[in-house]
Amino acid sequence: MSFIGKAFSSCTHASNQGYSCCKDCTVVYEDEAGKWGVENDQWCGIDTTCESQSDCWAAAEGFKCCSPGVKSILTDSKGSWGIENDEWCGIVDQKDDGSCWATAQGYGCCTGCEAIMTDDNRKWGFENGNWCGIIDSVCNKQTTTTTTIKSRTTTTTKERITTTSSSSSTGSNEPSTQTKPGWTPGNDQVLPGYLSTKGRYIVDEKGRKVKLAGISWFGGETTNLSPHGLWAKPLSHFIKIIKDLGYNHIRYPWTNEMLFPGAKTQSVDQLQNPDLADLTPLEVMDAVIDACGKAGIKVYLDRHRPLSGGQSELWYVAKVDEDKWIEDWQFLAKRYKGNPTVIGADLHNEPHGTACWGCGETKRDWRLAAERCGNAIHKVNPDWLIIVEGNDHYGEEGWQKGEGYWWGGMLKGVKENPVRLNTPNKLVYSAHDYDKNVFMQDWFKVSNFPDNMPEIWDDKWGYIAKEDIAPVLIGEFGSLLMDNKDVKWLQNLISYMNKNDVHWTFWCLNPNSGDTEGILGYDWTTVNTKKDNILTPGKAPNFLLK
């Protein structure tokens, strides 16, 4: 949507010389003709309506200006618009006089100038575990900008501006200097260092007990080869939602196709994410990890599928054999070594079917394969947690004639056949658990459902935490919340995990998971507060276990 009514506005000083009008009001140069900005590396003229934005600039468009506190709904070339009394109104920004504009929205202002995201023409940073506003007038004084423009009498083509900064902050438009992929110095301020295990607990480098309570953001494992929703909203939009809702990590699903020669992402929108649209799938992963790190969110990587077409029973298929599986994991482990944002590897998503646990057959025994892969990862990156999912059955008569459970959810075999890593204090077991909307299991049909679930959870995976064998992470769980029994099931699961120090990653952020949907609606903005509120008692925004 855009607003019409430019009778009182003008950037003729630009159009007369063959330039377009700027979409915003950021002035980088002024000469005798007028004020100029730069967009998409091209000069553009600043509209004269920008002169009056301290008053009611929207009057020139035939609209009133909003009362203080009205939320921005839309931004076009004139400014930000809200709705008040069922009428569009223009939002008047207060002058940036060095005061803390963010207090009006319940936030403080930053001491530094590193911007993580921009909304409504305001820049936001993240310090001491909280969002904070960037004061441009203060930060601009810390930078030195030189602008070169050709003589107006000899040419109508302006040169690209060159900017040099005397500060290493990212308050300017220049990208921050990264020392390694997916990493900007200072990204580990919320929870510095790496994680290890002690009994059922995950601990940080100071020995403090840490709780992982996060969310999956899928898409990297699909043919898009990048997280879904980047066609609709900027990356910063999703990072802010995840952080503001109190999730402390994301699970990033990926497929080995991401690392195939010539692999390209699909559906990353050029307008919403201009910095990501031309990147490779691996570089998009870097960017997501870096953005998470800046916001104090951890990431673990989930090898969800060998190929984007679908999940596999075993950890290998014809086009991606075991050697390739391990080789790609080692590649990622090397790439993110020294980056505390990335905390671990979920080795393979949902082994099932022919995948056994403890049967001793090299080609089928998932427990043995997890040992081989986990130890190989630790040879190149000893800091990572190794996250090992279960399979889907316990007991072997031929195969899969034993006791069944969810794909990736059966960890009953750990008692007799535990995973043996050369670095044992880096092992985390992971199970997946769902409700009746995914599949009507027998235990959902009994009269006391869902109050019967704690006994089932004890039997399948909960005993590992209860007996202090190792940490347990429920790496996927979710629900459509179709009825009160679904609600009670989810409430019971959160309560059980809280009581037994079980970690979790909710499935999922995305709305487009058919049998569960997600935390976000199909506008990729609206939060399903019914789900989120049930999860809230289990969250740990600052990671530390209460």
For the chain, domains (ranges, CATH) are 11-91 (3.90.1220.10), 196-538 (3.20.20.80)
**What confidence tens digit (pLDDT) does each residue in 203-218 have?**
999 999 999 999 999 9
**100: DSSP letter:** -
Q: Determine the angle formed by the axes of helices 366-380 and 322-335, rounding to 10 degrees.
A: 30
Cα gap 435→534, rounded to integer Å = 15
**What confidence tens digit (pLDDT) does each residue in 438-455 have?**
999 999 999 999 999 999
Per-residue confidence (pLDDT) for residue 346, from 0 to 100 = 98
**What confidence tens digit (pLDDT) does each residue in 368-410 have?**
999 999 999 999 999 999 999 999 999 876 555 678 999 999 9
The larger pLDDT score, comparing residue 8 to residue 255, is at 255
Strand-strand pairing, 427-432 and 403-404 = unpaired
Nearest to 346 by CA among 332, 357, 360, 356: 332
Look up the pTM and report it: 0.70
Q: Catalytic positions, please?
A: 350, 476
Residue with tokens 């076009």: 76
- Across 278-293, b (16+ Cβ under 10 Å) vs e yields ebbbbbbbbbbbbbbb
H or E segment to which residue 489 belongs: helix 484-499
- What pLDDT band is residue 307 in, cutting at 50, 70 and 90? very high
**What confidence tens digit (pLDDT) does each residue in 254-298 have?**
999 999 999 999 999 999 999 999 999 999 999 999 999 999 999
